[in-house]
Amino acid sequence: MVLIYPGSFDPITNGHLDIIERASAICDKLIVAVGNNERKKYEFSTSERIKLIRLTLGDRDNIEVTEFSGLLADFARKTGAKAVIKGLRAVSDFEYEFQMALLNKSLEPSLETLFMMTSVNYSYLSSSAVKEIARNGGNIEGLVPDCIKDIVAAKLAHR
């Protein structure tokens, strides 16, 4: 089974990494799909976001990291993935994710959305929080993967 894990990953956090590790353990192939929406303002460019994920993951046999733009349902159709996997941190994520799952299902009826609960130690974590902390000179250790911590901190310092 091929699963798609879509997101902005602006930047990847330890919460994303947790879902990637656990999701890739239960499928044949996990496609980490990095959204590139022209109307969205990202702190890191698409190639930077992909690079940070690849640095974090190294070489993994069953994980592919790739950019996608346009509708997720179209991307899923192109890749042949049967399902999308999303992480849920709290009840507050549910309403938005429920809407997205139903919209994607109406666009591509064969596409399932699966939800994986975040590990409890990452339930408070988001890319936005990481950016806010780093911009203000706070310590992001433990929030993002160790190997990208300095790159993320340097890019965001005093922005």
Residues that bind ligand PNS (CB under 6 A): 6-8, 35, 71-73, 100, 103-104
Of 39, 40, 158, 159, catalytic: 40
Nearer to ligand PNS, 35 or 145 (CB): 35
Nearer to ligand PNS, 23 or 72 (CB): 72
In 3D space, the residue among 135, 145, 158 whose CA is nearest the CA of residue 15 turns out to be 145
User: Can 78 be counted among the known catalytic residues?
Assistant: no
Residue nearest to ligand PNS (CB): 35
User: Can 119 be counted among the known catalytic residues?
Assistant: no
User: Can 40 be counted among the known catalytic residues?
Assistant: yes
In 3D space, the residue among 71, 77, 67 whose CA is nearest the CA of residue 36 turns out to be 67
CB 36 within 8 A of CB 63: no
Radius of gyration of the chain (CA): 15
CB 2 within 8 A of CB 80: yes
Nearer to ligand PNS, 40 or 158 (CB): 40
Nearer to ligand PNS, 13 or 24 (CB): 13
Of 22, 60, 82, 89, catalytic: 89
Q: Taking the alpha carbons of 130, 39, 34, 153 in that order, is the dihedral positive or negative?
A: negative
Minimum distance of ligand PNS from residue 27's CB (angstroms): 18
Minimum distance of ligand PNS from residue 68's CB (angstroms): 7
User: Can 82 be counted among the known catalytic residues?
Assistant: no
| Token pair 């339930």: residue | 123
Q: Taking the alpha carbons of 78, 103, 23, 128 in that order, is the dihedral positive or negative?
A: positive
Catalytic residue ranges: 16, 40, 89, 127
